[in-house]
Amino acid sequence: MTKFEEEIRSQGAILRARALAGASEARRAAEGFRGITHLVVAARGSSDNAAIFLQYLAGQELGLLVALAAPSLYEGAHRMNLSGAGVLAISQSGRSPGMVEVLTQANQQGCTTVALTNYLTSSLAESSDVVLELRAGPEEAVASTKTFSATWHSLAQLVDAMSTNNLEGIEDLPEVVERVAAWALNIELPLDLLDVAGLTMVGRGVGYAVASEVALKVREVSGVRAESYAAPDYLHGPVGADGAGCTLVAVITDELEDAVLFELLQGCRGSQMATVVIRSPRRAAVDCDAEIVLPEVGPNWVEALCAVILGQVIALRLGEIRGRDIDTSPGLSKVTLSA
């Protein structure tokens, strides 16, 4: 068994083990963020996809504006106005200098700074007021799995701590992830439709965060040329660039309405693209080439993480049939050293 598969299997147990301490740290961060007008988040790679998730979840649950930082704007003598902001930096290694530079400027301006990382002794952790520790343990496969789900969990805990209401599904998440990982590793996937020249993932809202992460994972692990779009953006032009030999994978979450999905699938059929849909049992069956129906019914944000877990397994299976080195993912680095 590859390290990548072992780490997929381990995710439920990791979330269970970090739940209590993570919730306590989230409450400390929420206290520091009390009174902020908006939240600025610095991240790269998979962490950036998790930040997109936070952007939607915090907007939906808290009405809080979350802006994604552009780390290159924080280099050298250039200064960004962070008045009123709380600042969060996400880096599993904690060694990305671009993330540290964002926190440095935020500290200089008196902002509350929070680091989300797997390493308490990292430069990122040492540059922050509060650390949200992933507690995922060393990740041996280069492509991230357990650090991503731990990040998603930690961000959900932060939203829960900042809310006047309990975030539905937060207590049950470890068990749900454990069940979904076991399910995904044992189902038959439509690999004939996924092992293609071009794979396009689309979603909306938290589903866009899923599409972005799954496309990245598929590209890293399997070498399939996967990319992601918000569903409306894809409809307004890029759909015309794909055709026979390409596949669209639509991640259906609550934000993706049936009318938009119908238009999307119709456009793909017109260009001879294959279509695959990932959906909750709560949503009606769709006219497409293949459906993958998630086994769990839960809150929208929980079902979205279930779709990420499924996407990790899709990346694994595609990598296996293509003879790829799953654990090293050629060309991929564990640490982002540029801003």
The answer to whether residue 335 sits within a structural domain is no
The answer to whether residue 333 sits within a structural domain is no
CA angle 137, 331, 124 (to 5 degrees): 40
Q: In this predicted structure, what is the pLDDT of residue 335?
A: 59
Question: Is residue 164 located within the same domain as residue 228?
Answer: no
Is the Cα dihedral 19, 48, 61, 307 positive or negative?
negative
Report pLDDT digits (tens) over 49-105: 999 999 999 999 999 999 999 999 998 888 999 999 999 999 999 999 999 999 999
The answer to whether residue 326 sits within a structural domain is no
Domain that holds residue 123: 3-170
> What does the alpha-carbon distance between residue 336 and residue 161 come to, in Å, rounded to a whole number?
29
The answer to whether residue 339 sits within a structural domain is no
Q: In this predicted structure, what is the pLDDT of residue 265?
A: 94
- Give the number of domains in the chain: 2
CB 303 within 8 A of CB 296: yes
Stronger pLDDT, 172 or 75, i.e. the higher one = 172
Question: Is residue 112 located within the same domain as residue 191?
Answer: no
CB 131 within 8 A of CB 89: no
Report the chain's mean pLDDT, rounded to a whole number. 95
Quick one: pLDDT band at residue 238, thresholds 50, 70, 90?
confident
Question: Is residue 80 located within the same domain as residue 193?
Answer: no
Question: Is residue 19 located within the same domain as residue 143?
Answer: yes
The answer to whether residue 329 sits within a structural domain is no
Question: Is residue 205 located within the same domain as residue 112?
Answer: no
Report pLDDT digits (tens) over 14-36: 999 999 999 999 999 999 999 99
Residue 67: give its domain's CATH number.
3.40.50.10490
Q: Is the pLDDT confidence value at 337 over 60?
A: no
Q: What is the percent of the chain with per-residue pLDDT over 90, rounded to a whole number? A: 91
Convert 206-237 to b/e letters by CB count within 10 Å (16 or more is b).
bbbbbbbbbbbbbbbbbbbebbbbbbeebbee
Report pLDDT digits (tens) over 114-123: 999 999 999 9
Mean pLDDT of 125-152: 97
Strand (E) or helix (H) holding 197: none
For 14, 50, 259, 262, the CA distances from 232, given in Å and listed in that order, are 35, 20, 11, 12
CB 113 within 8 A of CB 106: yes
pTM: 0.95
